[in-house]
Structure 1
């Protein structure tokens, strides 16, 4: 959202918690929760700043209704956006399981069509995979070049470089116990 407004990530500070995953038999290096504080600066005016706080957690209770809680809050000068992607309005209580579950019908249609056939083609989970496969086929056949896919706004290597830099900076911040700076110049990215 901020990259389209001319902002680039410039600094990442990360923190992590451990303990739950290892109790479930995961590798001792496995974090349960990782939080990143990302500082963004406007490329044409570095005095303009934005801050993003991103948290990923794998430690939902065993009987949690969701396995990932994707909440987004964007607060800006002239407005805000709040999105709760985990709970899409489908709350299902199941006494036999002793839990409340939240289904996401937009990811994949789980019910068959009227003839009993697969009917998940309209969910964004299916469409994402379909677009990836279509892009690979078009590049392999020579109908498109990777640059053509970049222009479509698909999550190509080129279009996700800022995200990759943020994730790698977060990993290094946790491992090294310090803030990591991100520098971009003429399309080349560097972590400092």
Structure 2
């Protein structure tokens, strides 16, 4: 199926819920509090998409503009204050804004991928696997993953799994995480 056809039928809420399996183990309550994966350098995160507070200035802007976080509260998050339970209580009060921000984020991921040229034919599962890749690693225009996709006429989700395990540093260091994420998505399409 062509990517444009997949996008035209895509249910963004379903996609949000599928990606939440990978980011927050499907536990929606985690989306509304600050969590720290302790892997990588993302700092505290929130939302289904687990917006990083350290690496994502848009997440900070969202917290300030939509959730009324003060500069001193933001500093605590960025400094990795060990107890941000009071900030999580404040965040929880903005559940609807967080859901809207997640939906906007997923919509932007879909649009970005939809605008990449020379993508192969695929099924919906493969498209969601690519979305998950983009959400986690960023699918750069003409980057390694994009060149891989352009080299294929059709692609299945197993091709994406193999690519991530063999071509990514993360796949070599954390193959169990790559397989877990792939299986979470794959199991939604059985």
Question: Which TM-score band (shorter chain)?
Answer: under 0.3
User: Between Structure 1 and Structure 2, whose CA radius of gyration is higher?
Assistant: 1
Higher strand share: 1
Query: TM-score by structure 1 length?
Result: 0.23
Q: Which has the higher contact order (CA 8 A, sep 6+)?
A: 2
